[in-house]
Chain A
């Protein structure tokens, strides 16, 4: 296996605010292979989006700053690039789509302008040629009657159609990596599935890698090959999607999966949804030890996990966990414990 397309090592992005330093991303490591999809999952405010924006250098500066770590993309550390060099990577090698398609397109410019400017920014083609490609792209993302639609303004289109336009723009320069930040959250449920299918199909056809950021385990199950679970600015578990759903190790992941609505049988349908008690810690002043300790049902056992931060360790090949008491070890210790 060759080197991964993207490797993030110990990334730290902090926000320097009047109240203090918010450690939004605090030591995130992850990797994405060519042509594969990484799902980055976590609740609001855990640092998923900031991680993504840090990768392509779009964090709001100030107040945010990357204070440590590396973002190795195709052999280059993106954190070391100048703004102008980054502009060449963005859109061309790494594209990004955002949560809210209603506000992510410029309301005063036609779809054509917004497509053509991207194509012509990274390719030396005539306006006419760029327009022709734009129409092809709109057709490819499933927009009916693209010759006419390309002349429309964003407000003429529905949310789902706008997200398709965003995807067309993102694909316009055949990027190696597409970062989709909550791509379906703002859409109707029926449209969500269509957009996810479209993304997955396009990924296969264009042989690009994807990072799909979401708080929705259902989205992960649908598209991800690999999953990274984020909590309070850190990755707490990383594994293949199959492995993660079958054998979650981190208590947080277990709790997340436990909080999903079940439809399998009448008993589970009748029951209440379980929630994770408590709230995530403040990233202004995160706890010394394990950041999940305060909400973890297994913390407090004499392993000092609330004082000493656990390292991300490989339990099984390809399955990393940041916890002193992953599920498999708990099971072993129960078996080994004297009756």
Chain B
């Protein structure tokens, strides 16, 4: 187990380098320049000075190596557009809300999605199943911005007297409720469907029949023998989804005015703020890598066969 973890950690190094290289190349392929705006003409000499200052006139591989060195020393460089701001500052300030929102949405999705799927499977083709699956399908099909809008309309406007939840900001716990639901509903629906299918399949297994033939109580058959074996596909999907929830909450952050990192990401791309784009990409890649690593470790815990295969 320890060997597995060490190996996975070492593997992140080449992956990160590759991510940096690809982002680097792709960003330079886009036309434009952080200092060359068409609407406000800046004298050519000033532009050249600026490019020189930020090292944009060096050959691309020098820039790349310099950037890699920065990442290794945990210095993501200055923002090219927001003067006097380091990428490190932006991350320090705006990443925590995004991380928290993603984690809350993930927790919401798992805590409600898995039991919902389990319930549906145990009452397959009866009304609890149909109800759960209608909820899941709707939750999956409706885009998060619409969910967010509906939540705001009903819980903050229509029944605002009853619930009294704020619709913007990220300070009180009340302000975190609606964004969490809006972001987590889709993944919750997905987990519910996944769990239902997986549990139904597990229930068909011979070892479930054995467990029942041993006279085990239904609760034990379901919790110990069925659920544990059914969670493997759910865990597989959970890794990438966690990455997506932390990085892809731009829309929700915008709607609820959450000072998260998603907004910086999008504006940085349009402004060609190379260092911000690079920094955030590396950060998000790291999150996805860590999430997948956790998935692999969970595999080992859930299924002893995978523990030894590595």
Write the residues of chain A forming the contact surface with B, with a CB cutoff of 8 angstroms.
56, 58, 83, 87-92, 95-96, 98, 100, 103-109, 117-118, 121-122, 153, 155, 166, 169
Contacts and interface: CB of A to CB of B under 8 A. Distances in A.
A208 to B, nearest CB: 15
A220 B259 CA distance: 76
B215 A108 contact: no
Interface stretch (B21-29, B157-165, B220-228, B272-280): B220-228
Interface stretch (B78-86, B106-114, B205-213, B245-253): B205-213
Contacts of B304: 107-108, 153, 155
Given A118-B214, A121-B215, 15 more contacts: A87-B218, A90-B212, A91-B214, A91-B215, A91-B216, A92-B215, A96-B213, A100-B206, A107-B303, A108-B229, A108-B303, A109-B224, A117-B224, A121-B216, A153-B304
A121 B217 contact: yes
Contacts of A103: 205-207
22 contacts: A56-B213, A58-B209, A58-B213, A87-B215, A87-B218, A91-B215, A91-B216, A92-B215, A103-B207, A104-B207, A105-B210, A106-B210, A107-B229, A107-B303, A107-B304, A108-B304, A118-B214, A121-B214, A122-B215, A153-B304, A155-B305, A169-B214
B212 A58 contact: yes
Task: Please name the 9 residue pairs, one residue from A and one from B, whose CB atoms are nearest each other, closest first.
Answer: A91-B215, A90-B215, A103-B206, A91-B214, A106-B207, A96-B213, A118-B214, A104-B206, A153-B304
Given A107-B305, A108-B302, A89 B206 contact: no
Interface of B: prevailing SS:
helix
Contacts of A169: 210, 214
A94 to B, nearest CB: 9
Nearest to A103: B206
Nearest to A100: B206
A99 B215 CA distance: 19
A91 B213 contact: yes
Contacts of B217: 87, 121
B218 A106 contact: no
Contacts of B211: 106
Nearest to B211: A106
Best-surrounded residue of B205, B209, B217, B218 (most CB of chain A within 10 A): B209
Interface in B270-310: 302-305
A117 B210 contact: no
A56 B215 CA distance: 10
Contact of A89 (B207, B215, B216, B225): B215
A283 to B, nearest CB: 21
Given A105-B210, A107-B303, A87 B216 contact: yes
> Size band of the B side of the interface?
20 to 34
Contacts of A92: 215
A166 B213 CA distance: 11
Nearest to B213: A96
A98 B209 contact: yes
A100 B207 CA distance: 10
A193 to B, nearest CB: 24
Contacts of A95: 213-214
Contact of A105 (B207, B220, B303): B207
Nearest to B225: A106
Interface in B151-207: 205-207
A117 B207 contact: no
B218 A90 contact: no
Nearest to B228: A108
A50 to B, nearest CB: 13
B210 A104 contact: yes
A61 to B, nearest CB: 12
A74 to B, nearest CB: 16
Nearest to B203: A60
B220 A117 contact: yes
A98 B210 contact: yes
A169 B211 CA distance: 10
A106 B205 CA distance: 9
A107 B207 CA distance: 8
Contacts of A106: 207, 210-211, 225, 229
Contacts of B207: 103-107
Contacts of A108: 228-229, 302-304
Contacts of B209: 58, 98, 104
A117 B210 CA distance: 12
Contacts of B228: 108
A88 B218 CA distance: 12
A117 B224 CA distance: 10
Nearest to B209: A58
Contacts of B206: 98, 100, 103-104
B69 to A, nearest CB: 46
A166 B210 contact: yes
A105 B304 CA distance: 13
Nearest to A91: B215
A328 to B, nearest CB: 40
Contacts of A155: 304-305
A329 B225 CA distance: 54
A90 B305 CA distance: 29
B225 to A, nearest CB: 6
A81 B86 CA distance: 73
Best-surrounded residue of A92, A96, A108 (most CB of chain B within 10 A): A108
Nearest to A153: B304
A90 B303 contact: no
A83 B215 CA distance: 10
Nearest to A56: B213
